Amino acid sequence: MNAHEIDYKIYGEEMQFVEIELDPKESVIAESGSFMMMNDAIEMETIFGDGSNKEEGIMSKLFSAGKRLLTGEGLFMTLFSNVGSNKKRVSFAAPYPGKIIPIDLSEVEGKFICQKDAFLCAAKGVSVGIEFSKRLGRGLFGGEGFIMEKLEGDGMAFIHAGGNMSKKILKTGEVLKVDTGCVVGFTKDIDYDIEIVGGIKNTVFGGEGLFFATLKGPGIVYVQSLPFSRLAGRILALAPQTGNKTRGEGSILGGIGSLLDGDNRI
pLDDT for the residue numbered 181? 85
What average pLDDT does this structure show over 199-228? Answer: 75
pLDDT range class, residue 201, cuts 50, 70, 90:
low
What average pLDDT does this structure show over 62-78? Answer: 65
pLDDT for the residue numbered 60? 60
SS3 149: strand
3-state helix, strand, coil in the chain (%, to 5): 20, 40, 40
pLDDT of 128 > 80? The answer is: yes
pTM of the model: 0.78
Beta-bridge partners for 148: 131
| Residues near 83 by beta carbon (within 8 Å), at least 6 away in sequence | 24, 25, 41, 42, 43
pLDDT for the residue numbered 57? 55
Strand order in the sheet with 42-48: 42-48, 76-82, 27-30, 119-123, 156-162, 98-104
pLDDT for the residue numbered 193? 85
pLDDT of 207 > 90? The answer is: no
pLDDT of 154 > 60? The answer is: yes
pLDDT range class, residue 142, cuts 50, 70, 90:
very low
125 vs 47: CA distance, rounded Å: 13
Q: Which of 219, 112, 114, 113 is nearest to 173 (CA)?
A: 219
Domain ranges within the chain, ordered by starting residue: 7-238
pLDDT of 150 > 80? The answer is: yes
Task: Look at 129-133, 165-169, 182-186 and tell me which has the smallest mean pLDDT.
Answer: 129-133
| Whether 21 contacts 6, CB under 8 Å | yes
What average pLDDT does this structure show over 54-81? Answer: 66
pLDDT for the residue numbered 228? 79
43 vs 96: CA distance, rounded Å: 26
CA distances from 218 to 17, 124, 169, 221 (A): 30, 29, 8, 10
pLDDT for the residue numbered 235? 79
pLDDT range class, residue 19, cuts 50, 70, 90:
very high
pLDDT for the residue numbered 180? 83
Q: Which residue has the higher pLDDT, 81 or 51?
A: 81
What average pLDDT does this structure show over 175-201? Answer: 84
pLDDT for the residue numbered 256? 46
What average pLDDT does this structure show over 208-213? Answer: 69
pLDDT for the residue numbered 135? 57
| Whether 190 contacts 150, CB under 8 Å | no
Q: For residue 106, is it left (φ>0), alpha (ψ between -120 and 50) or beta?
A: alpha
Fold adopted by 7-238: Double-stranded beta-helix (3.60.160)
